[in-house]
Amino acid sequence: DQIIARHVGRDTMLPSLEMSMRGEGYFSNSLPRNSISWVNTKLPATRDTNPRTIYDRMFRKASEGVTDKGVIDLVNDQAKSLKRRVGQADQRKIDEYMEALRAVERRMEFAEKQAGKSALGQARGVEFKRPPVGIPDDHETYMRTMMDLMVLGFWSGATRVGSLMLDHGQSNRYFDFIDGVRGTWHALSHYRDISGKTGDDDGINSWKTVSQKRDMYNEVTAWHHRQFAYMLGKMKSIDEGNGTLLDNTMLLYGSSLGDGHAHGEENLPIIFAGGGGGTVRSGRYLKYRRNYSLSKYHLATMQRMGVPVEEFAEVDSPMSGLTKRV
């Protein structure tokens, strides 16, 4: 996503939007464990967990700070003149400064467009309500609010690239709000351990059989599927004139593990949704050969977004059967 953001992000106020649900338990404050978007192989992208903060980044802050475009133009001209008279190190500093100015310009232009977009959105039933302070106590409300914000970011044009991490891999979040489920998400993922006495357990809950624990784990998985379905429904309800927002978007939903107990990285369950502007063939179940890399999907997505790249990670060809010819 960050490679795509570097390619298309100059055209939007936010190059990309990185979000994650606030974690619970061990490693909840660890940035690497709570990030699925990485700037490079060593640096995770800073992510937001607070709905109001995310909303303000996209909308309210657009009207703050410098408001005179003439001043920005003047400073730009002076920076360009200065750049011709300094060494390479100072030139790089000036480039960084000018990019910051361009970001301000994008915010100003976006703010000007937003008034008309908001009126149009209200006419079409798209709400632009600012989230309340803090993080909702109800987990479903929290997650759906975060999904609403991503949908709003895409529809408003604030960004074309976004990610939302639903929880980190060792989450100690309890899902006892689901009928018949007890234990933390991480403990339930190790469904073959039923004693409740391993390092993955809370020392309180135990289970009678592997089948019982696995069923609870599946209920948690199904709950997350329903939240994703909610997001797709929201996007499908927004008419953009040339199709719905869902028709004009590509979404990847899934997990980095095919088996939570064994930490298996094979047979990953992945849903690819959206029409990609009419370039993607959807509504099919595709089964690939053993060791078929998910990187092929990422390469295909980058190419759909116009990134001039022929290889990614360990692959040099995109996922087959995914896209239509354009």
Q: Report pLDDT digits (tens) over 69-111.
A: 555 566 667 777 777 888 877 777 777 666 666 666 666 666 5
Check residues 157 and 213 and name the one with the higher pLDDT.
Answer: 213
The domain boundary, picked from 104, 127, 150, lies at: 127
3-state class (DSSP) for residue 271: strand
pLDDT at 264: 87
Same-domain status, 156 and 69: no
Same-domain status, 230 and 115: no
Does the residue 19 lie in any domain?
A: yes
pLDDT > 90 in the chain, percent: 53
**Helix 88-123 with 69-83: angle, nearest 10 deg:** 160
Does the residue 221 lie in any domain?
A: yes
Read off the pTM.
Answer: 0.82
Does the residue 112 lie in any domain?
A: yes
- For the chain, give the mean pLDDT: 85
Does the residue 212 lie in any domain?
A: yes
> Does residue 250 contact residue 302 with C-beta atoms inside 8 Å?
no
Q: pLDDT tens for residues 19-52? A: 999 988 777 777 778 889 998 888 888 889 999 9
Query: Which 3-state string (H, E, C) describes 162-230?
Result: EEEECCCCCCCCECCCCCCCCCEHHHHHCCCCCCCCCCCCCCCCCCCCHHHHHHHHHHHHHHHHHHHHH
pLDDT at 80: 76
Same-domain status, 217 and 299: yes
The size of the chain, in residues, is 326
Enclosing H/E stretch for 270? strand 270-273
Same-domain status, 185 and 90: no
The domain boundary, picked from 112, 127, 142, lies at: 127
Q: Please report where in the chains the tokens 């133009």 appear, as a residue.
A: 73
> Does residue 168 contact residue 39 with C-beta atoms inside 8 Å?
no
Instruction: Output the CA angle 172-178-184, nearest 5 degrees.
Output: 15
Same-domain status, 45 and 67: no
pLDDT > 70 in the chain, percent: 83
Total number of domains in the chain = 2
Same-domain status, 93 and 211: no
Question: DSSP string of 31-89?
Answer: TGGG-S-BSSSS-BPP-B--HHHHHHHHTGGGGSS---HHHHHHHHHHHHHHHTTS-HH
Same-domain status, 113 and 211: no
Same-domain status, 119 and 135: no
Q: pLDDT tens for residues 120-168? A: 454 455 566 789 999 999 999 999 999 999 999 999 888 999 999 999 8
Does the residue 310 lie in any domain?
A: no
Same-domain status, 151 and 72: no
Same-domain status, 146 and 9: yes
Residue 65 pLDDT level (bands cut at 50, 70, 90) = very low
Same-domain status, 102 and 236: no
Same-domain status, 76 and 198: no
Question: CA 216, CA 211: separation in Å to the nearest integer?
Answer: 9
The domain boundary, picked from 89, 106, 127, lies at: 127
Q: Which domain holds residue 88?
A: 63-127
Does the residue 313 lie in any domain?
A: no
